[in-house]
Every structure is written in structure tokens, then in C-alpha cells.
Amino acid sequence: MIGSINGSCKIVNPLYADDTLATINAWKELGAVIKKESNHLRIRGFYGSPCPRGHSINVRESGTLLRFILPIIALAKGSFKVLGERTLLGRSNRTIVEALKSWNISIAGTGKDHKLPIKLEGKGEIRGGKTYVSGEQSSQTISSLLIVAPFAKEDTTIIVKDKLVSRPYVDVTIDVLQQVGIQVKKESYKKFYIRRGQRFKTQKKFIVHGDYSSAAFLIAAASLLPSDVTITDLVDDKQGDKKIIDILKKMGAKINRVDNAVNVKGPFELKGINIDCGDTPDLVPILAVLGCFAKGKTRIYNISHLAHKESNRITTPAGELMKLGADISTTKNSIIVKQSCLKPGHVSARGDHRIAMALVIAGLRIGDVRIEGIECISKSYPDFFKDIKSLGVKF
């Protein structure tokens, strides 16, 4: 939306969830022309020169949108305030704010963690140059800087000063940038180099393929229940959460891939394993559920950064599953689940869409589970219940 000198781009098969609708609205506020046409979006961008309609932008509850839009707003001229809602109001934005400050951008949030609202003075340009970024909590700051770097006045070098989590999301960012002619040099996820002045090339069409993060819940459900399920349009791309297939295979599931379709004929007798989720944080809630039904012990580790998501995704799924009788414990960096005899009960989604969906899958296996706050699923997967019902499930 920030690139494309001439013409417009068509995005085929877009997702209309709460977060993506917030994104569409925010980019319209910055001057992009976005029109919905049957199964696609038609977009004309502003090529690095936003023309905001007003002086405030609400990113709703989307942390991804917040991190991606802040450096773009800095390309506009004027004083701006970025607002948010619900769980996003309590989350730290220190990493992205400090990175932008290192580029001499005047930006500040509330308190030492720079929580929303955030105020920003746009100068119509960004300096770029060398910046040191923490990758311990999220990879999104790095992705946001990579996207805006071609518009910087100086060549950009991004140095990761600690470890980088969720690395596949950076790979997805680099892959999309390469599709539009932007080259990124990467050195072992520790250093990224982007030359200034690179020109975004008009891409006539982008196709949005299936999302493994959402498909993971369907694949898990099919592995736990009598089923014969085929999920289409799951291409073998750079999405990190495609790892759900390998994880379930190691746990004992038989999952077949034919071209871009995945077939599951459950149920399976699962066994507990050790799972490193440093690069796949969105899988943790559903893996905790799978661990309850797997023989032995399942250890999900390298997940300390999950304490800073929509909820604390270490303690929250554990706490809710305990209400159903799960034998589960946590550390600052792991969840340990033993095979459990779960029983009907009353739990809460705790405002977290992935925990909500994970609890639904647990409920399908147990039966008679009441989940409060289930409407938050629309944040990322508004068709979740329609797709689950297609498996023959009744609610």
C-alpha cells in the first residue's frame, strides 16, 4: 500500500477479520485508495508520501498494524496520535518506539513502556541508518523497519542485539519485498541491510493463500475426532506455522499432503513430545490442548515472549485448561502438559482469539464446555465456526 508508482494492485482472496479491517481503514486514513471488488481488493498506494485525512489513527486491537504503521506515519508531515483498544492498550511498545527514536523520529508513548496512545511528529521523511533492535519479544519491529527502509535518506542496517523470535515472519516479509523488487541482505537473523532508493515495482496481483496459523485448529480438531478432512490452498511457503503438520506427525498423527491440500483422517493416538515454539508462538495454545490428549508428557518450550501477546499465552491457556482438569504446569519459558482426563466445565477466552479457538477444540473432544468471550475469534478467523460446523460439529 505504500509502494506502486503506477497503477493499482489487486489482492485476491483477502481475509476480512477485525485486524485486517482495521488495517484497511488505517491505510485509507493515510491516503491509500482501497476498494472491495467481489473476491479481491483493489489498492492504489501513496508511494511513501502519506496524505492523512486527520491527525489521529485508531489501530483497534492489532499489534501488527500498530508496529507496521508507525514508521509510515513518520513519512507524513504533522502531529499525529495513534490510538488503540482493549488488550492492546496494556502492551509495551518500547521496542518499536526506541528503534524509531534512533532514526531521529520524534515519538513517545505513555510511560516507560510507551503504551498507547502514542504521539508522533512526522517530518515527511525518515533518516534510516544503523539501528539496534531487540527481537526477544516480537519480530514485527524488524519487519516494519524493513518495509519502510527503501524510503529512508540513508542505507539501513538493522542489528538484532539479542535473540530473534518468530523468525519465519521476517522471512515472509523479505519474500514479499523481493516480489516487488526490494532486496534485503540478511546475515543469520543478526543483521539486515537495505539499500536506500530502491523502487517498489507495481505488482498487478497478489494471491493470499491459506493461513497455517488458523488451519492449525482445524488440523488439530481432525486429529482428535473421527474425521476425514481436507484443507485446501495450504501452499508450502515460508509460513512458520506450517510446522503444525510435522509436530502432529511426530505425535503420531497421519497427515497427507497432496499438492497444496492437507488431508487428515482422525482420530489418532497421540504421544507427548518436546516442542520448540520459539519461531511458532501462535501454535502454543492449540499445542497445549493437544498435550492434554497425548500419552505421556508434552513440553512446549522457548516461549518466554508469549507473556506479551493478547494475553499471557503461557499462564492463560494453562489456567483455563486446569479448570477442565488438565495436569499442566508452567515456567517463565515453558508449558508442561501430561495426559489428562478433561471434564466438562466453564472457561473464558480471556480476550484472546487463539485461546478461544483452542478451548473450542478442547470442548469438541470433551463435550459440554461453556466458553465465555468467544466473540474475540473474529479478530483473526471470523469464519471459524462455519468451518468447524462443516466438520459435522454442533454448538
Asked whether the beta carbons of 381 and 214 are under 8 A apart, the reply is: yes
User: How many angstroms separate the CA atoms of 296 and 283, rounded?
Assistant: 20
Hey, how many other C-beta atoms are within 10 angstroms of the C-beta on 266?
A: 20
Query: 101 pLDDT exceeds 50?
Result: yes
CATH number for domain 9-116+125-196, candidates 3.40.50.2020, 3.65.10.10, 3.40.50.300, 3.10.20.310: 3.65.10.10
Query: 6 pLDDT exceeds 60?
Result: no
Q: Do 9-116+125-196 and 212-389 fold alike per CATH?
A: yes
User: What integer is the mean pLDDT of 158-187?
Assistant: 97
Query: 232 pLDDT exceeds 70?
Result: yes
Tell whether domain 212-389 is in CATH 3.60.110.10: no
Backbone phi and psi for residue 203, each to the nearest 5 degrees, phi listed first: -105, 115
DSSP-derived secondary structure letter, 198: P
241 is catalytic: no
How high is the pLDDT of residue 5?
44
The one catalytic residue in 282, 327, 368, 387 is: 282
How high is the pLDDT of residue 4?
47
Read off the pTM.
0.95
pLDDT in tens, 303-357: 999 998 999 999 999 999 999 999 999 999 999 999 999 999 999 999 999 999 9
Asked whether the beta carbons of 27 and 14 are under 8 A apart, the reply is: no
- The C-alpha R_g of the chain, in whole angstroms, comes to 21
Take residue 195 and report the three cell numbers written for it: 539499500
User: How many angstroms separate the CA atoms of 215 and 261, rounded?
Assistant: 11
Label residue 45 by pLDDT band (50, 70, 90). very high
Query: 378 pLDDT exceeds 60?
Result: yes
Cα–Cα distances in angstroms (integers) from residue 87 to residues 31, 90, 376, in the given order: 27, 6, 11
How high is the pLDDT of residue 190?
97
Only one residue has cell 478467523, namely: 381
User: Could you tell me which residue, 282 or 6, shows the higher pLDDT?
Assistant: 282
Only one residue has cell 516442542, namely: 275
How high is the pLDDT of residue 308?
87
Work out the end-to-end distance of the chain between its first and last CA atoms, rounded to an integer number of angstroms: 40
Asked whether the beta carbons of 345 and 369 are under 8 A apart, the reply is: yes
Q: What share of the chain is helix, strand, coil (3-state, %, to 5)?
A: 35, 25, 40
User: What integer is the mean pLDDT of 224-253?
Assistant: 96
How high is the pLDDT of residue 2?
58
Cα–Cα distances in angstroms (integers) from residue 140 to residues 48, 168, 357, 380, in the given order: 19, 11, 23, 17
Percentage of residues in the chain having pLDDT higher than 90: 94
Asked whether the beta carbons of 44 and 33 are under 8 A apart, the reply is: yes
Domains in the chain: boundaries: 9-116+125-196, 212-389
User: How many angstroms separate the CA atoms of 300 and 322, rounded?
Assistant: 16
Take residue 256 and report the three cell numbers written for it: 497427507
User: What integer is the mean pLDDT of 188-200?
Assistant: 96
How far from chain centre, in Å, is Cα 151?
Answer: 25
